[in-house]
A = this chain, B = another copy of it.
Amino acid sequence: MSELRKDLVSGRWVIIATERSKRPDDFRPSGGMARIPEAVGFCPFCEGNEGKTPPEVFALRGAGTAPDSPGWSVRVVPNKFPALNRGTPPPKATQGVFQWMEGTGVHEVVIENTDHALELSDLSIPHIRDVLRVFQQRIKTIEGELHYQYVQLFKNKGKEAGASLSHPHSQIVATPIIPKRVKEEIYGADRLFRSFKECAFCRILREEEAAGKRLIERNRHFAVVAPYASRFPFEMAVYPLRHSPSFTDVAEDELLTLAETMKHILTRLKDTIGDPPYNMVLHQAPNPSLSLKGWPNIDKNYHWHLEIFPILTKVAGFEWGTGFYINPVPPETAAQFLRQT
């Protein structure tokens, strides 16, 4: 029998389709453990090719090395084909009945390491911590410019997940408008706060720790769960145990634990279903430098988190039509496998 489950914060329902139930091996590429690596031609993100990207805006690099030259470990460059271009956002305008704005914003690429073949999960824990620290620094710097209401960090790994270059990288897009999904989560969390009398994410985390069956990892600072209403097989969510609306607020010692947590879960994902393409997205509070009139109390109600989901099923007509999802792997099963490996 299938089940319908509701994601409390977003209000989205998912169908856990047991008739279509699948095991991890069903998602492995056929013919063995490893997916065939994509052919690597010329790569503008590899060390030595710094001249082939727009000039770097930030880098962790060895003493005495010049910008846009070898010697870096993490490097940030503007996207060569930006979705949005830097600039002061003009006020919203209209075109007939429609609402319109000039497409101003920021679009940067964080090149996570020099070696094309080393994925985020292959890096050392201190190196992953460095990548996370660079994420924090870039987000803070962009937020300081005050033009942008939200800074979206995300990672596309693998062609099926939307990566056009295979060299490990993440992306940062700042928008002059608060994204629809973030707004939904903020308002959903506010509604739940009124009934729970506490942050909904904190409450859900406590429930998940007590239930245990969807818990993938828990350490001093973070918990990773297979969400109750997972949209996708082997979806994971990383939450800080300490209530906080902003990833940029993660302290130095917490950052090292986060790096360790990410290394664990990404390695487990790889071991469980064979290095799948995946997306990772950060959800946190809008730009704290701006005051949002009429919005709920985000500091109290909202709780930053990372969503990580391998791309194993297709989003199709049903999902587009309804905004609901069909997931053939119950999160309890996913958590069991992601814990075991």
A interface list, Cβ under 8 A from B? 1-6, 8, 11-13, 15-20, 81-85, 95-103, 150, 152-156, 160-163, 171, 173, 175-177, 179-182, 184, 196, 203-204, 207, 210-211, 228-229, 279-283, 307, 309, 314-318, 320-324, 326
Report chain B residues within 8 Å CB of A282. Answer: 321
Would A85 and B152 count as touching, CB distance under 8 A? no
Report chain B residues within 8 Å CB of A1. Answer: 85, 102-103
Q: How far is the CB of A71 from chain B (nearest CB, A)?
A: 29
Partner of A317, one of B20, B150, B161, B321: B161
Given contacts A156-B314, A162-B314, A162-B317, 14 further A-B contacts (CB under 8 A): A4-B103, A4-B177, A5-B100, A8-B97, A19-B82, A97-B204, A97-B207, A98-B207, A98-B229, A156-B316, A171-B317, A173-B322, A175-B322, A180-B324
Would A155 and B20 count as touching, CB distance under 8 A? no
Would B3 and A83 count as touching, CB distance under 8 A? no
Q: Given A2-B103, A12-B180, A19-B81: A321 and B98 within 8 A (CB)?
A: no
- Sample of 25 A–B contacts (CB below 8 Å): A1-B85, A1-B103, A2-B103, A5-B99, A5-B100, A6-B99, A8-B98, A13-B177, A13-B179, A15-B103, A18-B103, A83-B326, A152-B318, A152-B322, A156-B314, A162-B314, A162-B315, A162-B317, A163-B316, A171-B318, A175-B324, A179-B322, A279-B316, A283-B321, A307-B321
- By beta carbon, the residue of chain B nearest A227 is B98
- By beta carbon, the residue of chain B nearest A282 is B321
Report chain B residues within 8 Å CB of A99. Answer: 5-6, 8
- By beta carbon, the residue of chain B nearest A179 is B322
- By beta carbon, the residue of chain B nearest A283 is B321
Partner of A315, one of B155, B210, B315: B315
- By beta carbon, the residue of chain B nearest A4 is B101
Q: Given A1-B85, A3-B102, A3-B103: A181 and B317 within 8 A (CB)?
A: no
Q: How far is the CB of A26 from chain B (nearest CB, A)?
A: 13
Would B321 and A103 count as touching, CB distance under 8 A? no
Q: How far is the CB of A90 from chain B (nearest CB, A)?
A: 10
Would A103 and B17 count as touching, CB distance under 8 A? yes
Report chain B residues within 8 Å CB of A196. Answer: 97
Partner of A179, one of B83, B180, B321: B321
A-B pairs, top 9 by smallest CB distance, nearest first, are A162-B316, A2-B103, A154-B317, A179-B322, A180-B323, A281-B321, A181-B323, A162-B314, A6-B99
Report chain B residues within 8 Å CB of A152. Answer: 318, 321-322
Would B103 and A16 count as touching, CB distance under 8 A? yes
CA distance A153 to B317 in the complex (A): 8
